[in-house]
Structure 1
Amino acid sequence: MAERTRTGRFPAGLRQALIAFALAQFICSFAGSNMNVMITDISRDLGTTVAGVQLAITLFLLVMAALMIPGGKLTDLLGRKWCLIMGLLLFGTGAVVSALAPGLGVLIIGYSIFAGIGTALLIPPVYILTTLLFRDIGSRARAFGAISAMGGIGAVAGPLLGGLIAYAISWRAAFVLQAVIVLAIVLLSRRAVRDPLPADRTTPFDVGGTVLSAAGLVLIVLGILAADEEPRLTVVLVLAGILVLTWFFAAVRAKERAGREPLLSTALFRNRASNLGLITQNTQWLMVMGTSFVVSAYLQVVRGCNAIETGGVFTATTAGVLISSLGAERMARRRPQRTLIIAGFLITIAGIVLLLALGAASEQIWALLPGLFVIGLGLGAMLTPSVNLVQSSFGEHLQGEISGLSRCVSNLGSSLGAALAGTILVAGVDSAAPGRAYLWAMVAVAGAGVTGLIAAFFLPRGGPAPAEAPGSAGR
């Protein structure tokens, strides 16, 4: 067990499992951001437009967000290790299909659909198994620190690695690399990962709840995507999405009252720390993906940078995330999670201000590096405590559901970040002053950060109290 280590190192079996979990999170985050620097190459090769590639990116993130909740629930039904490996196989299949895609439609099938579904199936087990295998707060913070660090690095290093691969070989090789890494994770997971809880195949699966929750999320994000062309349609789709999600929650309460198993337990929404932590997670990943998308598009479209130059600029963000994430365990011992989350938002917002100020003052792309580095420091500082706070708010019986909900909220933030930033850019890049569109897109990202900062201020000062369901003792 992790809590028995005294030398500062986990036992060999746990180390190998943690490597598998961290690599799984890395490859999923990498897949969500590496295409940002290959937008022009992909659109030219597949005979499509920048908007078409943006659609594929947003759909990938949306499929993840829409299916993450049922993906978390399936871990209880089918087993966490089984879902992890099956998700990896689906993801790898999608990567191979994407590498061979002759057009945008096949790319969407491989990247947006197959890889999106695979991610929704494999990510919840990563966080559930980490919570179950690493029992004490210090060990869990260290484990989540490693996973969050790899997730953050995957998101911000995606442009760099994707740019290098696209420049040296082809954008298609980036998908081949994903498939190879996934195969290695599968082999490692089969040997090193163990599931401490048996699957309960007698638990009914809420198909109706799955459809309603996914439909509601899809409608909201599609509404945001339509804002630049059909503002009225945006209002209709967003309102429809809210109504469908309201229907979903009403159905959940009705099933609980009738003694049936819903897709989500309402107990998940009675924990103040978790609710606020989910808001911070959503806005954090909105800022990660929004910044990556806006800066990548700006460098390529306005500054005329190629893929490798664009990726090189993001080295600063990668370094910032790596430095602060690697200190997650030490910071968790010295400071409350609330303090770390607040500090992370303040630093990230300051980084955006610095990015805009120096970018406006100089025509050199290297003027963007200080701001991107500070953004990386802030993101790395708060990703781990937010995850740890939410996951630690509940006992073992709710780990499948809270993990699915947590990852859904985070990936919805990524999807909203790409959709919101992309919508602002598409609406303004053809104007007389296209640079202003990128300015306003980054201002919108900073505004989301302010929302997360406000939520963080209301987090309880102490640690979260795990919520136990009635009658769950001994489960």
Structure 2
Amino acid sequence: MAETEAAAQAPPASHRRVLAALALAQFICSFAGSNMNVMINDISRDLHTTVQGVQVAITVFLLVMAALMIPCGKLTERYGRKRCFLGGLIVYAAGALLSAAAPGLGVLILGNSILEGIGTALLIPPVYILTTLLFQDVTSRARAFGVVMALGGIGAAAGPLIGGLITEAISWRAAFVFQAVVVGMIVLLSRRLDDPLPPDPTRSFDVIGAILSSAGLVLVVMGILAADNHLWLMALLLGLGALVLLWFFLRSRAMERAGREPLLPIELFRNRTSNLGLVTQNVQWLLLMGSSFTVAAYLQVVRHYNAIQTGAIFTAATAGLLVTSLFAGRFTRRHPQRRLIVVGFALAIAGIVVLIALGAAYKTAWAYVPGLLLMGLGLGLGLTPSVNVVQSSFPEEQQGEISGLSRSVSNLGSSFGTAIAGTILVAGLSRGGYAAAMTTLAVIGLVGLAAAARLPRAVAGSAGP
């Protein structure tokens, strides 16, 4: 506890240096999830694969993150947040370099989807645990999460532009080298990173629970991917995934009743505010990644835009995310968190409607700018308070568990977004697939809006450590 208090009282320069490393880590992981969207044609041509093959690679990357985030969040307690953070960076860099040299789709999936996915799952929970522990009052934590979420949002939204510039100027392979270079910068910034809480090697780790939770999530997302042309297989995989996840939760409850420590304490789900916050996080990332893949794939395959043209259009979303995320601390001081999340969803849904309407009415690239700007503003406004609500609902001894769960739910949303919207789009690229995919995203956005509206009026993220 004394170490936690000392960290909280560290000089501002120390806080800024640590926050820079954490925010850059979130940036590069979000960048990895979206930059491939503008490389679809180049990768397909170079590796002799299809649009669906690239979609699978992107979705598997997001899925590996989601499936392993809960177990890796638990490992931070046993091995320490700094050790997991640095270990994740090393694994991630190895995957990026392997992807850059990939001779075919299989090696690309191994490097980008598997190794980068594992590295991300290891390093992201420490980002949110350390941010929560180091910034303890509501305003400073909101400001810190604002920086982290701003860089994450920019990574997701600007990934197409940065990836497009690199692809057109050099090659899509250079975009993976760029990721490895950024990871090297993060390692240098993390040299003086101190873990506020010492690791506890005596903490148990539920291996069977980790296998069950990961297998259940994999089956569910693979079921969505099979919806394109195998409805019976989709139903089978979704059913199996639901049964495995039910087995996981029943086993965890039995372990708790027996006085043993499960991978994920069931008590985390007894907090109504946190549950609603998790739903909003899931839908926010689903909208961000689903719309990013849909718009980017449509513009390249149907409208025949190149990587730079496609990426440039996404600067509107990047600008919106940057503006609202960086003002998160100021917004939190002036408005309830529920209001920020509700307004954020309203703006994001309005952005999707504008993207559908203007995209159908006009052929010019400028038709996509207003909708993407609205989406960026809305998601940037809601992401930070959603994270703050969830993290602040639990004391410091549960930060490893809730961080793993929170990031898993968010990345599962990213997987769902790419899988659902991508499957609908690929099934009807030239037959209204774009409008159908975006309409589906808007309907799901209404679910997030309903969850946000049910958050307590007084929630302010002040119940944390």
Letter in 2 for 1:188: L
Q: Which runs of 4+ in 1 moved over 4 A?
A: 1-5, 464-468
Indicate the residue corresponding to 1:274 in structure 2.
274
In structure 2, what is the Cα distance between the partners aligned to 1:421 and 1:360? 18
Residues 1:17 and 2:18 are matched in the alignment:
yes
Asked whether the equivalents of residues 96 and 179 of structure 1 are also in contact (C-alpha less than 8 Å), the reply is yes
Deviations, residues 63-90 of structure 1 (Å, cap 9, x unaligned) = 0000000010000000000000000000
Aligned-residue offset at 1:426: 1.9
Indicate the residue corresponding to 1:201 in structure 2.
201
> What does 1:221-300 align with in structure 2 at a 5 Å threshold?
221-300=221-300
Indicate the residue corresponding to 2:308 in structure 1.
308
Aligned-residue offset at 1:118: 0.3
SS in 2 for 1:203: coil
Letter in 1 for 2:64: V
SS in 1 for 2:432: helix
Indicate the residue corresponding to 1:88 in structure 2.
89
Asked whether the equivalents of residues 125 and 404 of structure 2 are also in contact (C-alpha less than 8 Å), the reply is yes
Aligned-residue offset at 1:446: 0.8
CA, structure 1 residues 139+119, in 2 after alignment: closer, same or farther (shift >3 Å)? same
Indicate the residue corresponding to 1:103 in structure 2.
104
Task: Give the alignment partner of residue 443 of structure 1, picking from 410, 428, 439.
Answer: 439
Letter in 1 for 2:32: A
Deviations, residues 234-256 of structure 1 (Å, cap 9, x unaligned) = 11111111110000000101111
Indicate the residue corresponding to 1:70 in structure 2.
71
Q: TM-score, normalised by structure 2?
A: 0.97
Indicate the residue corresponding to 1:401 in structure 2.
401
Asked whether the equivalents of residues 212 and 245 of structure 1 are also in contact (C-alpha less than 8 Å), the reply is yes
In structure 1, what is the Cα distance between the partners aligned to 2:196 and 2:375? 38
In structure 2, what is the Cα distance between the partners aligned to 1:398 and 1:304? 49
Aligned-residue offset at 1:463: 2.2
In structure 1, what is the Cα distance between the partners aligned to 2:400 and 2:189? 22
Indicate the residue corresponding to 1:143 in structure 2.
144
Asked whether the equivalents of residues 324 and 381 of structure 2 are also in contact (C-alpha less than 8 Å), the reply is yes
Aligned-residue offset at 1:216: 0.5
SS in 2 for 1:218: helix
Asked whether the equivalents of residues 388 and 461 of structure 2 are also in contact (C-alpha less than 8 Å), the reply is no
In structure 2, what is the Cα distance between the partners aligned to 1:462 and 1:391? 16
Aligned-residue offset at 1:465: 7.8
Letter in 2 for 1:265: P
In structure 2, what is the Cα distance between the partners aligned to 1:233 and 1:132? 44
In structure 2, what is the Cα distance between the partners aligned to 1:171 and 1:323? 29
SS in 1 for 2:42: helix
CA, structure 1 residues 321+367, in 2 after alignment: closer, same or farther (shift >3 Å)? same
Deviations, residues 245-291 of structure 1 (Å, cap 9, x unaligned) = 00000010111111111101112101011000000000000000001
Indicate the residue corresponding to 1:127 in structure 2.
128
In structure 2, what is the Cα distance between the partners aligned to 1:274 and 1:262? 19
In structure 2, what is the Cα distance between the partners aligned to 1:453 and 1:103? 41
Residues 1:176 and 2:177 are matched in the alignment:
yes
SS in 2 for 1:462: coil
Indicate the residue corresponding to 2:156 in structure 1.
155
In structure 1, what is the Cα distance between the partners aligned to 2:9 and 2:50? 55
Asked whether the equivalents of residues 2 and 11 of structure 1 are also in contact (C-alpha less than 8 Å), the reply is no
Letter in 1 for 2:453: F
Indicate the residue corresponding to 2:419 in structure 1.
419
Indicate the residue corresponding to 1:329 in structure 2.
329
Letter in 2 for 1:456: A
SS in 2 for 1:368: helix
Aligned-residue offset at 1:466: 7.8
Deviations, residues 338-389 of structure 1 (Å, cap 9, x unaligned) = 0000000000001111111111121111111111111100010000000000
Indicate the residue corresponding to 1:471 in structure 2.
none
Deviations, residues 117-164 of structure 1 (Å, cap 9, x unaligned) = 000000000000100011111110000000000000000000000000
Asked whether the equivalents of residues 2 and 136 of structure 1 are also in contact (C-alpha less than 8 Å), the reply is no
CA, structure 1 residues 322+277, in 2 after alignment: closer, same or farther (shift >3 Å)? same
Identical aligned residues as a percent: 66
In structure 2, what is the Cα distance between the partners aligned to 1:384 and 1:428? 35
In structure 2, what is the Cα distance between the partners aligned to 1:2 and 1:368? 45
In structure 2, what is the Cα distance between the partners aligned to 1:71 and 1:4? 28
SS in 2 for 1:190: coil
SS in 1 for 2:191: helix
Deviations, residues 293-318 of structure 1 (Å, cap 9, x unaligned) = 00001100110000000000001110
In structure 1, what is the Cα distance between the partners aligned to 2:301 and 2:44? 13
Q: Which runs of 5+ in 2 are unaligned?
A: 1-5
In structure 2, what is the Cα distance between the partners aligned to 1:170 and 1:19? 28
Deviations, residues 393-426 of structure 1 (Å, cap 9, x unaligned) = 0000100000000000000000000000111012
Indicate the residue corresponding to 1:459 in structure 2.
455
Aligned-residue offset at 1:17: 0.2
Asked whether the equivalents of residues 425 and 437 of structure 1 are also in contact (C-alpha less than 8 Å), the reply is yes
In structure 1, what is the Cα distance between the partners aligned to 2:30 and 2:431? 28
Letter in 2 for 1:454: A
Q: Which runs of 5+ in 1 are unaligned?
A: 469-474
Asked whether the equivalents of residues 284 and 379 of structure 1 are also in contact (C-alpha less than 8 Å), the reply is yes
Asked whether the equivalents of residues 267 and 467 of structure 1 are also in contact (C-alpha less than 8 Å), the reply is no
In structure 2, what is the Cα distance between the partners aligned to 1:11 and 1:401? 28
Q: TM-score, normalised by structure 1?
A: 0.95
